[in-house]
Amino acid sequence: MSERRVVVTGIGVISPLGNDLASTWEGLKAGRSGISRVQSTDPSPFPCQIAGEVRDFDPSPFFKNPKDARRADRFAHFGVAAASMALEDSQFDPGKVDRDRVGVMLGSGIGGLSTLESQHRILLEKGPPRVSPFVIPMMISNIASGMVSMEHGFGGPNMTIVTACATANHSIGEAWRIIKFGDADAFLCGGAEATILPMGLAGFSNMRALSTRNDEPERASRPFDVDRDGFVMGEGAGMLVIEELEHARKRGARIYGELAGYGLSADAHHLTSPQPDGSGARRCMEMALRHARMNPEEVDYVNAHGTSTPLGDVAETRAIKKALGTHATDGLVVSSTKSMTGHLLGAAGGVEIAACLMALEEGVIPPTINLENQDPDCDLDYVPNEAREVPIQSALSNSFGFGGHNASLLVRKM
């Protein structure tokens, strides 16, 4: 692996807590829940009737051609918007760089589910001639990454990774790898998701994966709490601008931190359940540490995958303890921001690495809210209910997806 170093210079976020980084981060620090009763569709037929929805979002300012916005699914709206926000935050001027050395890696766990639902309804009710000619490009998961490159003229490597809830971390990690290998100087990378729809609610509900605490939506996502009963869906996007260090320095970029390590592994265990002993997740974190050339005790904060599922939270706790050893129970700080945002599926890692970078910058660890009766099998310091001021130098972010896909990112101060 090349010695080229990779840094983060821009962040763009759309989440249930707000339609930009600032409002999302303020919500996380305040311990505010973005979960409420679903408003975008009638939730009454479904066992789970709550979610973290993005509200009052207008995609049109982020597209040069208004027609392009109308020909894009909601997940692509989120991805294009978050990418534009990240570029603006980075003060990255596409006209002043070699655009053929700038790549895009924007993933989605499910892609254009809204388009699939609506056009399938038209097919059944009105027949094949009435199906939109744009149904395929609106639906396919790679279209958001393609649209970002078209909007900004970036001709570098362009890919889409689909690894369920690990999608954004894999996208950022593989972009990091391409820069390290020398095939690009900068990337827009992360994930976008929009699945709060009848099919999404029905599918996840019938798996018994979702919380049914419908009468208390703000208290439904409760990672590591003994009364947790499943995750809560969220939607949105998280995108980063990452650059080779000297490329960033030459243009005088502000640097949030170094993307120092990336790990990935497979559980090779079950369609939806994690390896109970956390061994796959452990290997993933250990690889991130090796790439960063860091010891376990040098990790100050872990933004846990922490979905609020009975099996997942215990398995991740075991994995953290095995990967970080005695440090896990002696000085390490862990929290799950999904307690506030819900689970953004393929976009989760993008929003959560943004939280890690802001924690590095401000020395504030966002809390795990709703942690009122901690599960004895989850015995780490999860920063219950209130943010904590803790100066930190490094942070590890975990994302684990259905199919046993694991991805960890490690960022540190420069």
Tens-digit pLDDT profile for residues 190-234: 999 999 999 999 999 999 999 999 999 999 999 999 999 999 999
Structural domain boundaries, residue 334: 262-412
Instruction: Please provide residue 310's backbone torsions phi and psi, each rounded to the nearest 5 degrees.
Output: -55, -45
250, 274, 305 - which closes a domain: 250
* Residue 160 and residue 17 in one domain: yes
Active site residues per annotation: 165, 305, 343
Mean pLDDT of the chain: 97
Per the structure, the count of domains in the chain is 2
Return the pLDDT at 124.
Answer: 97
* Residue 242 and residue 277 in one domain: no
* Residue 325 and residue 376 in one domain: yes
pLDDT tens-place string over residues 110-145:
999 999 999 999 999 999 999 999 999 999 999 999
* Residue 311 and residue 210 in one domain: no
Confidence label for 249 from pLDDT (cuts 50, 70 and 90): very high
* Residue 76 and residue 208 in one domain: yes
* Residue 303 and residue 239 in one domain: no
In a domain, 245, yes or no: yes
Q: Could you tell me what percent of the chain has a pLDDT over 90?
A: 99
pLDDT tens-place string over residues 28-81:
999 999 999 999 999 999 999 999 999 999 999 999 998 999 999 999 999 999
189, 224, 250 - which closes a domain: 250
Confidence label for 3 from pLDDT (cuts 50, 70 and 90): confident
* Residue 296 and residue 187 in one domain: no
* Residue 272 and residue 395 in one domain: yes
250, 278, 313 - which closes a domain: 250
* Residue 375 and residue 329 in one domain: yes
* Residue 306 and residue 354 in one domain: yes
Return the pLDDT at 305.
Answer: 98
- pTM recorded for the entire structure: 0.97
Question: What's the whole-number mean pLDDT along residues 252-265?
Answer: 98
